[in-house]
Amino acid sequence: MIKILQLADLHGQFGKLDAFLSLEPDLVVISGDITENGPVDVVPDLLDRIDVPVFAVPGNCDPKDILDVLEDSSAVCLHGSTITLGKVTLTGIGGSNKTPFGTPFELTEEQIEGILSEITAHLEKNVHNILVTHAPPEGTLDRVGEAHVGSPAIRKFMKHFDLVCTAHIHDDRGEMEVDGVRIVNPGPASEGHCAMIQLGDEPRDITIKILSL
């Protein structure tokens, strides 16, 4: 059994970190928007406070130079890469598809598709296959009013995974299942929200709890 703490949308508000870590996870995944348009120099100290392995992608509100900061930190930057930890394979893509707001880290659908196409071409199936992303797949926990604002490219590639740990849309927190794939948006950690994900020994043995601390 592996316990994963998923955090997202901290937006520079780190006051709940000790409460989150009191849940005693085996590892932490961060689904982006660690900062609110920077500064990125606060990120290493945040990550150093976490005493278990951390795997992170940036969000659309993170300046792109956060990639260098994550690479040089105690965390693993998952953007555009994949890592296998025993029975678990983590893959990541950061930033978001285009928004009306011109935030610092936005990608075109073609760029997202290119990144995910390259990764999945060499991806080997594991017991648990997790995509850590900031933007949600289109049509999944991506509603703003009546509109779905998720990424069609991420939706296209989510079939390669059993679980998608997403974020970005603060008002659409929760979990759902689409075509056999679990999707979870824990809600903004800046407001005390998180998710605890428990992985069992068998494929698709995944338990998700959405929490507010």
Query: Is the confidence at residue 187, as pLDDT, over 90?
Result: yes
Q: Give the domain ranges of the chain.
A: 2-212
Q: What is the CATH number of domain 2-212?
A: 3.60.21.10
Predicted confidence (pLDDT) at residue 127 exceeds the cutoff of 90 = yes
195 has a pLDDT exceeding 90: yes
- Residue 78 three-state SS: coil
Residue 146 has pLDDT above 90, yes or no: no
Has residue 136 got a pLDDT over 90? yes
User: Per residue in 61-91, pLDDT tens?
Assistant: 999 999 999 999 999 999 999 999 999 999 9
How high is the pLDDT of residue 84? Answer: 97
Residue with tokens 């990144």: 115
Question: Is 184 in contact with 198 (CB distance < 8 Å)?
Answer: no
Global pTM value: 0.97
Torsional sign, CA 130, 132, 136, 141: positive
Between the alpha carbon of residue 29 and those of residues 55, 93, 143, 165, the distances in Å are: 5, 12, 23, 8
Q: State whether the Cα torsion 208-163-189-102 is positive or negative.
A: negative
Residue with tokens 């120099």: 41
